[in-house]
Structure 1
Amino acid sequence: MAVSFENIFNHTIPIDDFRLKWRFSDEKYDKLPNDHLDQLRPLNNDASKFLWDFINQNNLHCEIPFKKDIFRIIDKAKISGDNEKEIKKWLYHRGLPFDKQVFLSWQQTDAMIVPWKIFIKYFDSFYYGGSDDLTIIDQSLNWALLFYHEDEIYFGTNEKYQPCKTFEKFDFIW
């Protein structure tokens, strides 16, 4: 059966079989409470590749952070060692419903579905600066987030949205 957004929830695997499970279940990194861990839906290889291909076929990142003119508005934030609360607030203000299921893609073999609220709460477990490039989307592609490995976050949207001024003092790569 080919993977699609209609059946992607049928292509999940147990967290114990997920290559990046240590981020969420190892006390050395972050040990999520069981009720939060149970809301993480790692995807199997076929579904992970489906998301990867969807992102690439839509040329989402053919220009960094996003393909020119795919989004009307691009906002950005900078992660520093002491601004976790500020980043959570910035993520909250993206305007997505807390219960919205979002798709996370690290690479073609690693992807996951999580509720937006869980992502906000534990964003620093999902994203490791210096090593990760993480794309977050939904199937509409009316918005996207790129967590870039230089501790930069880019949010593109086609919705009516006022960019944040909090991070204007930072230098960004793009």
Structure 2
Amino acid sequence: MNIQIDKREIIPLSDFELGWRFDKGHNSDISDYDKKEILALSENESKRLNKVIDYYEIESNRMGKYLETDWFSANSENKDKVERFRNQVEKYLKPFNEDIIISWERKLTLKTKKNIFIKYWTDFLYPGSDDVTIISERTNWILFYNHCEVANIWIKNKS
């Protein structure tokens, strides 16, 4: 299954409730080029996409079709831990080159590139508040982030 977004439903990042996470004042490292790759979606489009995401959030719908990794630390308290998470995600997702959909809740969703997420993951995932589902546009994998600073990935079986 491929998840398609309606390009007419892309909204300015400045109008997105979590768009401030990608402002220069919050993240001085983010380039204008990278920021253009973060596509905020309207509330209506987010709700539509979350109907698909809801299906994959039910574990029984993934069983037998996906392999689950162990939960691993997604701690961002220092550079070493940030890099450790980045390396683990890169290792698991290396075979996949597709855009991703990130959903914080039914009305807050965006689309971006896998490498943008990996590079700036601490702006996408906030400890203590965020429970986030990230799914590849071809549904080859799903990453679940829990506000307790752990994550796991479900990767589609090739068999």
Whether these two folds match at TM > 0.5 is yes
1:153 Cα shift?
A: 0.7
Matched with 1:30 is 27
- Aligned residues of 2:68 and 2:152 also touching (Cα < 8 A): no
State the superposition RMSD in angstroms: 2.4
**Structure 1 gaps, min length 5:** 161-174
Alignment partner of 1:135 is 2:133? yes
Q: How does 1:13-162 map to 2 (within 5 A)?
A: 13-27=11-25, 29-31=26-28, 32-56=30-54, 58=55, 60-63=56-59, 67-80=62-75, 81-82=77-78, 83-96=81-94, 100-159=98-157
- Aligned residues of 2:142 and 2:154 also touching (Cα < 8 A): yes
Measure the CA separation in 1 of the matches of 2:95 and 2:24: 29
- Aligned residues of 1:98 and 1:117 also touching (Cα < 8 A): no
- Aligned residues of 1:91 and 1:120 also touching (Cα < 8 A): yes
Measure the CA separation in 2 of the matches of 1:7 and 1:156: 22
Cα deviation 1:62-94 (Å, max 9, x = unaligned): 349x85444223243212323001111111112
The structure whose RCO (Cα within 8 Å, separation 6+) is larger is 2
1:33 Cα shift?
A: 1.7
**Any idea what SS the aligned residue of 1:89 has?**
helix
Matched with 2:10 is 12
Calculate the TM-score normalised by the size of structure 1.
Answer: 0.77
Structure number having the greater helix percentage: 2
Relative to structure 1, the CA distance from residue 119 to residue 9 in structure 2 (aligned partners, 3 Å threshold; closer, same or farther) is: same
Runs of 4+ residues over 3 Å off in structure 1: 4-7, 66-70, 96-99
Measure the CA separation in 1 of the matches of 2:157 and 2:8: 30
Matched with 1:169 is none
Relative to structure 1, the CA distance from residue 6 to residue 125 in structure 2 (aligned partners, 3 Å threshold; closer, same or farther) is: closer
Measure the CA separation in 1 of the matches of 2:94 and 2:151: 16
User: What is the aligned-residue identity percentage?
Assistant: 25
Aligned partner letter, 1:74: T
**Structure 2 gaps, min length 5:** none
> For structure 1, which segment, 98-107 or 41-50, has the greater mean C-alpha deviation from structure 2 after superposition?
98-107
Aligned partner letter, 1:30: N
From the CA coordinates, give the structure whose radius of gyration is larger: 1
